[in-house]
Chains A and B, each alone.
Chain A
């Protein structure tokens, strides 16, 4: 079989017009909500230094093993750069570098992130809509970003989104109570964040009571703040775990008050070491469409001043598969102007007419030499030979009109909106 003329890279994806229409719709819904909540849009570079992501407590080794890192053209010093593997850390860097501008910052972004995926079946370039609330304290900040994400998902027409809640502090405190040596503790945390929760149940060290507590915390889920209160009431819950649980309870109480439904699942924290507090995931029809959480230690880790912060990212690629085209506002009614003459005068008339109609907000496509229009359209305006008037065909109402002047076309087509 002959090879195709050109091939896109393995794991890369083209967005075709209909894809981008959905993409832009998701983006516009997200932007509208963020702007109305007082968030400002920012954009960070695609290239960042690798060292931004290698600081302990940012990305897990497994995630670092899947970044696109390389030497730039001036990389003789050995300093590696990466294609941005994560949305939040660059925003934290941006904040740290511009901290004199802001006391607190509500920032949002639409960005691509690059993660190597071995089979090449999934896209290695992924799009995210994210929002970060820096210096947004606990628990209001958590509830604000979570509510904002929920609003965006609702506005996208997705009903029945499931929210899974966890708390990275509970997890961290539990692992600390196992009294492992530092290297082993880091190894266990990495494995857990990569999804291997079973490893916690195999550890023999630590107090027996802690080992009893682990299956109770990991194996059960609740959908009300009472669930966490019940856990806290157990006599053998150590103080370090208990203070993290307190934080967790505050957030769940506020969510209860706001009527936001959720499910507590401590094992739902994944992938990012930088989370310190409440973490959440959004599932729609069983697929993860977003996640977020609190990351109070991230800014000092990358050289900034300490600031509480939280945020979320919605994953555009899975959202594009489930956001229905019906939810989208009607696109503009397209006009095709077909020029049946190739004299300069006729072409000039077609361009002039198109310019006037576009200035009225219409979407106008020109068609010369019998070129077929690219997309479905309502209006077809034929510029007759020798400028002998225009035919206007309204395909929606199945009507045809003949007029003599440009102004008449504008009146008919413009008035037909």
Chain B
């Protein structure tokens, strides 16, 4: 009998690898930066593991794709707060990766206490990577009017101008403060947890694995490798500027950071703290009236739609994903910037007997028990694509990166971007359709373009950008 376990990438990976070693369940390739997602251990041939983004693990275990999983309690509660009936059991506190979920406001403005916020009459904007927990919190605290802006990351950079509250995970209050925020309330403590699928727990003997992990957890295991690496602690202490006529521009982190930085250099706009090797979330701009923040490109369309930013440099893929979900959204694509070119493609396993999307539809139509599982970071693009291709039964699995690992066990179709197709080929996958090509683009809020105090400045920026495109 096989036992499957889902293991985390990212923050918890180093500590989890140490913990597994301590428990005697060592997986050779479970290391940072690994490109191998499926793992075996020689000692326990019945045990197989797969690496996921931490956020995906509770869902994968709850739907029964994995018997066991290791992830932070924060992501478990994020699932359970919205779907309390999920078939998910919290089995064991592994006692590493400790931290808390904090309700925070900005150190430079906004409220000093949660009570102060509760008495306010205006609509509170809450930004979080944990939208379900944010909603549960808002209801629990009886917020009269609130709006939740789910983000893919960098929640700390939004308050006070672009959000009143940020709900986020941090190791300690000191870390919250170091990120330029003020902790209003510690919602609950978190640490790494061993979780189990309820049916597996009730029907399957998981004790060989659980016993080993429990033994190690009882040793009061401590790791020196806890903590979030890298860039997030490098925050500016510049207090926010909010004056009429200022133009707010969002620029991307991640893969798009280096080409965007290079493009901006061509425009002649100097940004201190934003280059291929440096990230300040609030880089200082040579134009006094241009306020710049670095956020995730995925989050930009929603932020621009809500007027938190006037302009943003994102990808056409994320622009389309937003407008497919919100057709009347007040955002517009102004310029194609020409870099960051990728294809958004439909992908299946090489072993699936289909050559195009029509074949897949026929395959799903011929077998009523075959419900096509579609994994994608672009849930709205994927949803529209499946609808437009008249698939009658399909299930969308939102993913948060490393989507190629889902095929073939945990999904049948992937809607994914690719530059060369090499990574897909390495994972025994094949492209069966190309949806569109995507490049970096400048998007704007339509109302900002009409705003008297901003119009000229935005037109000027567009001209500068156009010259840089032509010169590139």
Binding site for B on A (CB under 8 A): 2-3, 5, 51, 54-56, 61, 64-65, 69, 71, 73-80, 118, 186
Check if B326 sits within 8 Å of A74, measured CB to CB.
yes
Report the bound CA distance from A85 to B398 in whole Å.
Answer: 28
Contacts of A73 in B (CB 8 A): 325-328
Name the residue on A nearest B326 (C-beta).
Answer: A76
Contact A78 B85 (CB under 8 A): no
Known pairs A56-B144, A64-B139, A118-B84; A76 contacts B305 (CB<8 A):
yes
Evaluate whether A118 and B85 lie within 8 angstroms (CB atoms) in the complex, with A54-B144, A74-B326 already known.
yes
List, sorted by A's number, 21 A–B pairs whose CB atoms are closer than 8 Å.
A2-B368, A3-B368, A3-B369, A51-B144, A51-B146, A54-B139, A54-B142, A54-B144, A61-B140, A64-B139, A71-B326, A73-B325, A73-B327, A76-B305, A76-B325, A76-B326, A76-B330, A77-B147, A79-B147, A80-B147, A118-B85
Residues on the A chain within 8 Å of B85, using CB:
118
**A78 and B139 contact, CB distance less than 8 A:** no
Task: Establish whether residues A74 and B306, one from each chain, have CB atoms under 8 Å apart when the complex forms.
Answer: no
Cβ distance B361 to chain A, nearest Cβ, rounded Å: 17
For the complex of A and B, list the 7 residue pairs with the smallest distance between their C-beta atoms, beginning with the closest.
A78-B147, A76-B326, A76-B305, A76-B329, A118-B85, A56-B142, A74-B328
- Cα-based distance from A214 to B125 in the complex (angstroms): 41
Chain B's nearest CB lies how many Å from the CB of A326? Answer: 40
Q: Which residues of B contact A118 (CB under 8 A)?
A: 84-85
- Complex-state Cα separation, A2 to B370, whole angstroms: 12
Q: A73-B326, A73-B327 are in contact. Are A78 and B143 (CB under 8 A)?
A: no
Q: List 15 other contacts, CB 8 Å, given A51-B146, A54-B143, A76-B322.
A: A56-B142, A56-B144, A61-B139, A61-B140, A64-B139, A65-B139, A73-B327, A73-B328, A77-B147, A78-B125, A78-B147, A78-B148, A79-B147, A80-B147, A80-B148
- Min CB–CB distance A229 → chain B (angstroms): 36
| C-alpha gap A75/B136 in the complex (Å) | 19
Chain B, range 111-151, C-beta contacts under 8 Å to A: 125, 135-136, 138-140, 142-149
Q: In the assembled complex, which residues on chain B have CB atoms less than 8 Å from the CB atom of A3?
A: 368-369
Residues 311-349 of B at the A interface (beta carbon under 8 Å): 322, 325-330
- Whether the Cβ atoms of B145 and A51 lie closer than 8 Å is yes
- CB nearest neighbor in B for A117: B85
Q: How far is the CA of A225 from the CA of B140 in the complex (A)?
A: 38
Question: What range describes how many residues of B lie at the interface?
Answer: 20 to 34
How far is the CB of A171 from the nearest CB of chain B, in Å? 18
Bound: A65/B329 CA distance, A? 28
Task: Determine the distance from Cα of A116 to Cα of B142 in the docked complex, in whole angstroms.
Answer: 20
Chain A proximity of B180: nearest CB distance (Å) = 23
Q: Which of B136, B145, B147, B302 is in CB contact (< 8 Å) with A65?
A: B136
Q: State how many angstroms separate the Cβ of A253 from the closest Cβ of chain B.
A: 36
Q: How far is the CA of A74 from the CA of B305 in the complex (A)?
A: 11
Specify which chain B residues have a CB less than 8 angstroms from the CB of A5 in the assembled complex: 368
Cβ-closest chain B residue relative to A119: B85
B→A interface (CB under 8 Å): 84-85, 125, 135-136, 138-140, 142-149, 302, 305-306, 322, 325-330, 368-369
Chain A residues with Cβ below 8 Å from B147 are: 77-80
User: Least Cβ distance of A77 to chain B in Å?
Assistant: 6
Nearest-CB distance from B328 to chain A (Å)? 5
A259 to chain B, nearest CB (A): 42
Q: Is the CB of A76 within 8 A of B302?
A: yes
Q: Which chain B residue shows the least CB distance to A65?
A: B139
| A69–B139 CA distance with the chains assembled, in angstroms | 12
Residues on the A chain within 8 Å of B136, using CB:
65
Beta-carbon contact of A77 and B140 below 8 Å: no
A61 to B142, CA, bound (A): 8
Chain A: which residue is nearest B127 at the CB level? Answer: A78
Closest to A77 in B: B306
Determine whether the beta carbon of A76 is less than 8 Å from that of B306: yes
**A77 CB contact (under 8 Å) in B138, B305, B322, B325:** B305
Give B280 Cβ to nearest chain A Cβ, in Å: 27
* Docked complex Cα distance between A186 and B141 (Å): 10
CB distance from B160 to the nearest CB of A (A): 17
A182–B458 CA distance with the chains assembled, in angstroms = 49
Shortest CB–CB separation between residue B142 and chain A, in angstroms?
A: 5
In the complex the two chains form, what is the Cα distance from A75 to B369 in whole Å? Answer: 34
Tell me the smallest distance from the CB of A16 to a CB of chain B, in Å: 25
Asked if A75 contacts B326 (CB within 8 A), the reply is yes
A241 to B85, CA, bound (A): 40
Residues of B within 8 A of A71 (CB): 325-326
Q: A51 to chain B: closest CB distance in Å? A: 5
Which residues of A have CB within 8 Å of B305? 76-77
Contact of A78 among B140, B149, B330 (CB under 8 A): B149
Find chain A residues with CB under 8 A from B144 CB.
51, 54-56
CB distance from B186 to the nearest CB of A (A): 15
| Residues of A with C-beta under 8 A to B140 | 61
The chain B residue with its CB closest to the CB of A59 is: B139
Taking a contact as CB atoms under 8 Å apart, the answer to whether A78 and B306 are in contact is yes
Nearest-CB residue, chain A, relative to B136? A65
Question: In the assembled complex, how far is the CB of residue B219 from the closest CB belonging to chain A, in whole angstroms?
Answer: 38
CA distance A73 to B322 in the complex (A): 11
Q: Quick one: closest B residue to A51, CB to CB?
A: B145
CB of A121 to closest CB in B, whole Å:
12
CB distance from A63 to the nearest CB of B (A): 10
A80: chain B residues at CB < 8 Å are 147-148
> Smallest Cβ distance from B3 to chain A, in angstroms?
28
Q: Which residues of A contact B135 (CB under 8 A)?
A: 69
Least Cβ–Cβ distance between B127 and chain A, in angstroms: 10
A55 to B145 Cα, complex, angstroms: 8
Kindly provide the distance from the CB of B144 to the nearest chain A CB, expressed in whole angstroms. Answer: 6
Chain A residues with Cβ below 8 Å from B84 are 118
Give Cα distance in the complex from A3 to B145, angstroms: 44
- Give Cα A43 to B61, complex, Å: 44
Listed residue (B125, B142, B322, B325) with the most chain A CB atoms within 10 angstroms of its CB: B142
Shortest distance in angstroms between A228's beta carbon and chain B's nearest beta carbon? 32
Q: When chains A and B are docked, how far (Å) is the Cα of A196 from the Cα of B147?
A: 31
Contact at A186–B142, with CB atoms within 8 Å? yes
Question: Shortest distance in angstroms between A44's beta carbon and chain B's nearest beta carbon?
Answer: 20
Interface-central residue, B139, B322, B328, B329, by most chain A CB under 10 Å: B139
Measured between C-beta atoms, what is the minimum distance from A68 to chain B in Å?
A: 12
Q: How far is the CA of A61 from the CA of B329 in the complex (A)?
A: 31
Chain B residue with Cβ nearest A64:
B139
A56 partner residues in chain B, CB cutoff 8 A: 142, 144
* Chain A residue nearest in CB terms to B304: A76
Docked CA distance A91–B386 (Å)? 40
Alpha-carbon gap, A76 to B324, bound state (A): 11
Report Cα–Cα, A26/B438, bound state, in Å.
58
B443 to chain A, nearest CB (A): 13
A2 CA to B305 CA in the complex, in Å?
46
Q: How far is the CA of A93 from the CA of B148 in the complex (A)?
A: 24
- For the complex, give the distance between the alpha carbons of A3 and B335 in Å: 50
Q: In the complex, what residues of B have CB within 8 A of residue A69's CB? A: 135
- Residue in A closest to B371 when the chains form the complex, CB atoms: A3
Rounded to whole angstroms, the CA-CA distance of A100 and B328 in the bound complex is 33
Q: Across the interface, name the chain B residue whose C-beta is closest to A116.
A: B85
**Chain B minimum-CB-distance residue to A55:** B144
Nearest CB in chain A to that of B331: its residue: A76
Residues in B with CB closer than 8 Å to A74 are 326-329
